[in-house]
Amino acid sequence: MAETDALPVVRSVAALRETVRGWRRQGFTVGFVPTMGALHEGHLTLVREAGQRADRIVASVFVNPTQFAAHEDLGTYPRQEARDAELLAGAGCDLLFAPSVEEMYPAGATTTISVGGPADGLEGEFRPQMFGGVALVVTKLLNQVQADVAVFGEKDWQQLMVVRRLVRDLDIPTEIVGSPTMRDGHGLALSSRNAYLSEAELEIARQLNGVLAEAGAAAASGASLDVVEQDAREALLRAGFSHVDYVAVRRAEDLAAFEDGVADAAGRVLAAAWLGRTRLIDNMAVAPPS
């Protein structure tokens, strides 16, 4: 086991399992927070949430290549392991798992996972490689850590629904907990990719949550979802977003479309929009009809 000044670090599955087995022998429960690093307060909230639910906490830092397409930002995705370790230690993490690509995907590995249901449409349409890659790496990580509970952020709502479906379908005995989205003082969802934005782009980005909040309120009032979605797309373009991939109001629990074009149950309004070369996603709850 390696160790930074802040936090013990393991880089192999064998070393990870040895540490977790030691905790188990002492009667400790185990929580897990998977990340791709470049940590911010949103990630640390997940660690603290896990700490409320388990005795010992593992966090992983792994920029997963299988969920990036060739044209995406795998090569430039921010990497800052030493700082991440310090932040994790301060949030109560007990162990950092930071494997190499070769450790996670050994030579000759051929297994893939195909996911449907909540993975269909939205991100699944615009990033068709993503959820297969997410499903594979999350399955591997959950099997490697074998935690009692794992915490994921609600900012990636569709991913959270995919992981919950995956765990249910594959009988993985880890409880999946969603933690509310952390936002800055202007309401912008915290994201590692926010670091790509210029000051001018940040001013535009901070309007995203307001547009989605208005869309959520309109959907909850019984407005036509076609109109709600179109109005929100136009509002984002007026705000200065260069392109909108989607704005969609879906059922919260499974991301299925509302059949009658109005929100007749708890929903979620989800969006993905571009500022220059940076793609932002966010979502807001849609209250069920009273």
Q: Give φ, ψ of 277 to 5 degrees.
A: -100, 5
The per-residue pLDDT for range 165-197, each reduced to its tens digit, is: 999 999 999 999 999 999 999 999 999 889 899
Active site residues: 43
Closest CA to 118 of 251, 260, 259: 251
The per-residue pLDDT for range 64-88, each reduced to its tens digit, is: 888 987 777 777 676 889 999 999 9
How does residue 1 score in pLDDT terms, banded at 50, 70 and 90?
low
The two most distant CA atoms of the chain are separated, in Å, by: 58
Mean pLDDT of 255-263: 95
Mean pLDDT of 51-76: 88
